Structure 1
């Protein structure tokens, strides 16, 4: 799909993605592959809630654009983990990207409760990870040890629609390995398809997006909420796609408040 952004959207994208990356105080490995690493920003309180943050970029780009926001979350009392993973166009795509997300989610926090959050395609991966208990039990990604909550920030929720709309020049097909692989692989890695018959992951889930997001079609958010019956859909008026991960923005306040709420025990 050819996307001609408005002046508002183009300026937002330029402003947020041009923020200088922030080096993490802690850098570690969670596996043997060079991309199986993560950055850690500990909050001042050692008992602070833990957030694992998955970056966007249509499964192709690295995590550096999200480092300022990760550091910002830590400054606001959330110990923040930002993992790297194998990506489309290089060592990743199906199945390696999903292998890495599963390994990161299963091992990095060493059993400590955490909220799994992701922006755009990282939101897709977060929603997928929260639905792994719905996969066939013989799947290598099946598990019943899930994040305590999931927050999708303007997430891609529907890979079939992503492919149909040709978002980011074929990113969905690239992730799945080509058109001939879609039918077989979609039921294993697409949040909306996985949920269609089940209706819930059993994990507290919030989808938060801007009202004027021009990057991800708004139907991706509402369609997911219609299938995941107990997910919460939050729409921020006047907010676009990238402001959600802009440190200090009005949208970032809503993100932090939501993460803290999801980190608290459910009443």
Structure 2
């Protein structure tokens, strides 16, 4: 591809390429990660959903927080398969923390609550169940793990020690602000936004900027509002279908085996793809690949 476009990093889902002028090209692949493994089976169109949905949300969050998007016009060296799944972004100094907002109790937050009655130091009332709505959204940060490692929930005080109290407070404020806007818009479209994970970085002048992706099925839990019912696992528009299959007897895989997960069957791939496409269509009001009215 020449010196103008060089690969600098691959994460669980995204690949980063540097341009000579200092900008980054962020490419969302169709890779799927689950239980700290990158699966060998891709889900077609997944990367396009992540990128296009992030672009849709960036527009609606512009008054809440600046983001890293510069343009969707790709350099001439970009291969054709990047169309619809890549964006040119500014380079940021990323903060080493996963910024998570929860409005509902599930996942690792539910496990913490059952063990301690709290989530990341946030005390919660007794009697909550899987899927319960919280009295108000809470900030539950986590460490940012490398590929193959596991994010660990941490206290707000741990974030303060890592990046300083003023920046920690700003990340908490922005995370909860993004969640509240996203939760309201999703609810208007019949979707419960249970929780979401954000990443932020800093410009050279110290401005805090939203990076990576925002309010996608990879970074968030989306549940159909008409079937939400606390006390049981919820139907979801994210990769929970993949997680459920991996932990079912049908997969023959155990999380504690130390072995990589098996390939996904065709029907699991198709149903997961359908959930990503449905999430995009429900939120944006149009199918993937169509032009905004």
Query: TM-score when scaled to structure 2?
Result: 0.30
Q: Which structure is higher in helix share?
A: 1
Name which one, 1 or 2, has greater alpha-carbon Rg.
2
Q: Which has the higher strand share?
A: 2
